Amino acid sequence: MPGRLMRSLWQRWRRYRYRFVPWIALNLSHNPRTLRYVPEESKDKVISDEDVLGTLLKVFQALFVNDFSKQSDILTVLPEPVKSKYQDLLSVQHPRVKQLEYRHQQQNTFTPEEILYKTLGFSVARAPSSLISAGKGVFVTKGLVQKGAVVSMYPGTVYQKYEPIFFQSIGNPFIFRCLDGVLIDGNDKGISKVVYRSCHGRDRLGPLKMSDSTWLTSEIHNPLAIGQYVNNCSNDRAANVCYQEFDVPAVFPIELKQYLPNIAYSYDRQSPLRCVVLVALRDIEQGEELFSNYYTIVS
């Protein structure tokens, strides 16, 4: 019995250590390939914020149009120019269906993963990691990820440095620390899940959702929202993606916020929502697992 318990604890540790910050820190000198050097915090950008925003808008608009028949409540509160824009996009995607008839017919929708592939040329998904005892990882399941592409997002509740996160952090390997100390809790279980759902319901404005909560379930509406499962690189598995912080601008379309997999712990209209995306450092082929640098050293 004691032997079985110790083996179980050892297996859990071997999975957890790839996300355990103190363990990674102590092993930095043995694994320099896990580091990425930038001259200063403001220059920690592989691609521009405009490119990140453009990619997210492209994917989210495609998801919105693909699920158009279920957006009727949202469309009723949108300005006419915005509704016309989506009707135009719809007519391009489904040219044989009259716009007025479309909402009353059975729609042959694509899965979110198919939409991602049709939009960006690749799809990603969670699967058992190629690292021994590392748990789940993220793989390119179809297509080719080009260097500089946004390949996934890190979902979760966003905490400012002064906000309480002690109880959520206990035994939690999914807390990401931004360069300015902002924390993102990407755990989809336990108290972290409860907190996110609570904040998600708090910020909803009638039919308008300010965030996506489906990443907490098995049916994810935003196929990019799996970045918390990307494992750390190692000596024999070099990083092929890196984390990049992105603050959602005030002009972000309100109807597309339903696909943002992040939400602020405290409601604050003055602060932009912090998101973190993962950007490809090189071309990544189908079947490859994503590995990231967990640490950025500011010189």
Give the CATH number of the domain where residue 170 resides: 2.170.270.10
Q: What pLDDT is attached to residue 134? A: 86
Q: What pLDDT is attached to residue 107? A: 53
- Tell me which residue of 146, 265, 272, 276 sits closest to 224, measured CA to CA: 276
Residues of the chain with pLDDT > 90, as a percent, come to 69
Model pLDDT for residues 72-82, shown as the tens digit of each residue: 999 999 999 99
Model pLDDT for residues 33-89, shown as the tens digit of each residue: 444 444 455 556 899 999 999 999 999 999 999 999 899 999 999 999 998 888 888
Taking a C-beta distance cutoff of 8 angstroms, is the pair 292, 232 a contact? Answer: yes
The alpha carbon of 193 is separated from its chain's Cα centroid by a whole number of angstroms, namely 15
Amino acid at residue number 260: L
The structural domain count of the chain equals: 1
Taking a C-beta distance cutoff of 8 angstroms, is the pair 193, 185 a contact? Answer: no
Model pLDDT for residues 138-196, shown as the tens digit of each residue: 999 999 999 999 999 999 999 999 999 999 999 899 999 999 999 999 999 999 999 99
Q: What pLDDT is attached to residue 186? A: 97
C-alpha–C-alpha distance, residues 153 and 275, integer Å: 8
Specify the higher pLDDT residue, 1 or 210: 210
Specify the higher pLDDT residue, 291 or 7: 291
Q: Does 271 have pLDDT greater than 70? A: yes
The Cβ-side half-sphere exposure at 271, using a 13 Å CA radius, reads: 13
Banded pLDDT at 299 (limits 50, 70, 90): very low
Specify the higher pLDDT residue, 197 or 132: 197
| Angle between helix 112-120 and 49-66 (nearest 10) | 130
Q: What pLDDT is attached to residue 38? A: 45
Amino acid at residue number 239: A
Q: What pLDDT is attached to residue 91? A: 78
Q: What pLDDT is attached to residue 98? A: 47
One-letter-per-residue 3-state SS of 189-222: CHHHHHHHHHHHHHCCECCECCCCCHHHCCCCCC
Q: What pLDDT is attached to residue 283? A: 98
The beta-carbon contacts of 10-13 under 8 Å, at least 24 apart in sequence, are 11/133
Q: Does 244 have pLDDT greater than 70? A: yes
Q: What pLDDT is attached to residue 15? A: 54
* Both structure tokens of 60: 């989210």
Residue 289's beta-bridge partner residues? 139
Q: What pLDDT is attached to residue 12? A: 60
Taking a C-beta distance cutoff of 8 angstroms, is the pair 140, 123 a contact? Answer: yes
Q: Does 14 have pLDDT greater than 70? A: no
Range of the domain at 237: 2-298
Q: What pLDDT is attached to residue 239? A: 96
- How many Å is the Cα radius of gyration of the chain? 20
Taking a C-beta distance cutoff of 8 angstroms, is the pair 285, 140 a contact? Answer: yes
In this prediction the pTM is 0.83
Q: Does 297 have pLDDT greater than 50? A: no
Q: What pLDDT is attached to residue 155? A: 98
The alpha carbon of 239 is separated from its chain's Cα centroid by a whole number of angstroms, namely 18
* Residue 138 per-residue DSSP state: E
Q: What pLDDT is attached to residue 133? A: 82
Q: What pLDDT is attached to residue 132? A: 86
Please enumerate in sequence order all residues whose Cβ is within 8 A of that of 257, keeping only pairs 6 or more positions apart, or say none: 208, 209, 210, 211
C-alpha torsion angle, residues 159, 36, 291, 223 (rounded to 10): 50
Q: What pLDDT is attached to residue 24? A: 45
